[in-house]
């Protein structure tokens, strides 16, 4: 497939080393429609058809051109949950070692649970796991603890070593034949990454700060770790809304930050290229990034409850939305409505 090229940072726009450059909405934007969307979604104490919206940022051509917070606990300085947006961060972190040749994504991951001579899992590659097409059994459910591997892994018997919990799952399908979105897959990857980085939790914290967070000006991220010191790469990295926007800008610039290439452009292209098995609902999935959820050429970080960083190359636009769109009743309808709300906000930019 042909990917839309990454837009370059405009020469008259400084990179957000600390403070973001800000600007007015472009004349081509539908300011009235965007204001109406924000007024409805961020009405204090209101839970509308899209649930609660806590924070909204629009970045176009490198500048913040729209920003709104609910208030109270939800401000520009507040930290917001990533939930599964952490999966995309995990993919970026793996990229640093792949660029150094320390990870071959087409080679087997070699989890210790798969070292049997006849174990079919021994052949599973980093790429198959990043594409969510490993074929491993995993039940991604966020409500019913009786059937959910996600709940069991994050909060119960798997919480001390989440990578081991997921790696011990049997094969349910041939690799690359079925898309199975699985938080366990991300924690297998995060554990393997951490083992290569070395130094346990402290080593991984330093690696994240040195390679990603520090260069992007993300000063106070809060990644979470399991009982053995593995970054919970499926679910937990708290940051300010602006910091999630920094991750989006880094990806939208193809791995460049402030004129310095930190990751190869090919690694970001790898993230936004569809894998061999795709979701049945029509959405696209690359390497731990969602595809075409909000625009025809877009890629995004998606998190439970309505956390999104949507990147649109042809508009040079990033939309960040944090909220809670799973309040009962009708949580699925709320999530769908919130998703459409982000698409509508994106459409305001032409």
Give me the percent of the chain exceeding a pLDDT of 90.
88
**Residue 2 pLDDT greater than 90, yes or no:** no
- Residue 198 counted as domain residue: yes
pLDDT, tens digit, 9 for 90 and up, residues 118-149: 999 999 999 999 999 999 999 998 877 778 99
- Residue 178 counted as domain residue: yes
Model pTM greater than 0.85? yes
pLDDT, tens digit, 9 for 90 and up, residues 80-126: 999 999 999 999 999 999 999 999 999 999 999 999 889 999 999 99
**Residue 327 pLDDT greater than 70, yes or no:** no
- Residue 269 counted as domain residue: no
Q: List 299's β-bridge partners, or say none.
A: 291, 311
- Residue 140 counted as domain residue: yes
| Cα diameter, the chain | 64
- Residue 200 counted as domain residue: yes
Alpha-carbon span 281 to 276, nearest angstrom: 15
**pLDDT score for 48:** 73
Q: Do residues 246 and 216 touch, judged by C-beta distance below 8 A? A: yes
Q: Name the residue among 289, 267, 304, 288 with its Cα closest to residue 185.
A: 288
Burial 164-178 (b: 16+ CB within 10 A, else e): bbbbbbeeeeebbeb
pLDDT, tens digit, 9 for 90 and up, residues 234-288: 999 999 999 999 999 999 999 999 999 999 999 999 999 999 999 998 899 999 9
pLDDT, tens digit, 9 for 90 and up, residues 187-221: 999 999 999 999 999 999 999 999 999 999 999 99
Please state the φ and ψ torsions of residue 333, each to the nearest 5 degrees: -65, -40
Domains in the chain: how many in total?
1
**Residue 75 pLDDT greater than 80, yes or no:** yes
CA count, 13 A, side-chain hemisphere, 27: 0
- Residue 17 counted as domain residue: no
Inter-residue long-range contacts of 34-40, CB under 8 Å, 24+ positions, other chains counted: 34/58, 34/66, 34/345, 34/348, 37/341, 37/344, 37/345, 37/348, 38/66, 38/68, 38/345
- Residue 93 sits in a domain whose CATH number is 3.40.710.10
- Residue 330 counted as domain residue: no
Using the structure block, give the residue that is written with the tokens 């979604």: 41
Please give the average per-residue pLDDT across 174-179, as a whole number: 98
Query: In the structure, what pLDDT confidence band is assigned to residue 302 with cuts at 50, 70 and 90?
Result: very high
Alpha-carbon span 37 to 105, nearest angstrom: 42
DSSP 28-92: TS-HHHHHHHHHHHT-TT--BTTBEEEEEEEEETTEEEEEEE-BTTBSTTS-B--TTHHHHHHHH
- Domain with 108, as residue range(s), is 82-240
* Average pLDDT for the chain: 95
Distance between start and end Cα atoms, the chain? 24
- Residue 323 counted as domain residue: no
**Residue 335 pLDDT greater than 90, yes or no:** no
């Amino acid at each position: 497939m042909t990917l839309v090229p990454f837009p370059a940072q405009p020469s008259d726009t400084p990179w957000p080393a600390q403070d973001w450059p800000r600007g007015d909405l472009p004349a081509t934007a539908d300011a009235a429609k965007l204001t109406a969307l924000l007024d409805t979604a961020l009405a204090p104490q209101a839970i509308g058809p899209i649930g609660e919206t806590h924070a909204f940022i629009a970045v176009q051509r490198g500048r913040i051109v729209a920003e709104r917070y609910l208030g109270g606990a939800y401000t520009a300085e507040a930290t917001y949950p990533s939930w599964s947006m952490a999966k995309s961060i995990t993919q970026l972190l793996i990229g640093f070692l792949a660029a150094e040749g320390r990870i071959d994504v087409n080679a087997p991951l070699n989890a210790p649970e798969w070292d049997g001579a006849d174990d079919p899992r021994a052949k599973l590659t980093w790429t198959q796991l990043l594409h969510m097409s490993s074929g491993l059994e995993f039940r991604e459910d966020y409500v019913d603890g009786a059937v959910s591997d996600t709940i069991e892994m994050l909060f119960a018997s798997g919480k001390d070593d989440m990578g081991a919990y997921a790696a011990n799952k049997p094969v349910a399908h041939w690799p690359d034949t079925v898309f199975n979105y699985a938080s366990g897959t991300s924690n297998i990857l995060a554990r393997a990454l951490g083992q290569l980085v070395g130094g346990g939790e402290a080593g991984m914290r330093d690696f994240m700060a040195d390679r990603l967070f520090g260069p992007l000006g993300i000063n106070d991220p809060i990644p979470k770790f399991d009982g053995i010191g593995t970054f919970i790469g499926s679910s937990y990295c708290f940051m300010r809304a602006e910091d999630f926007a920094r991750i989006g800008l880094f990806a939208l610039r193809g791995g460049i930050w402030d004129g310095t290439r930190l990751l190869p452009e090919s690694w970001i292209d790898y993230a936004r290229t569809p894998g061999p098995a795709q979701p049945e609902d029509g959405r696209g999935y690359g390497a731990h990034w969602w595809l075409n959820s909000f625009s025809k050429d877009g890629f995004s970080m998606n998190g439970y409850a309505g956390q999104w960083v949507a990147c649109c190359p042809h508009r040079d636009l990033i939309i960040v939305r944090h909220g809670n769109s799973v309040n009962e009743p009708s949580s699925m309808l709320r999530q769908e409505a919130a998703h459409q709300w982000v698409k509508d906000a994106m459409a305001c930019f032409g």
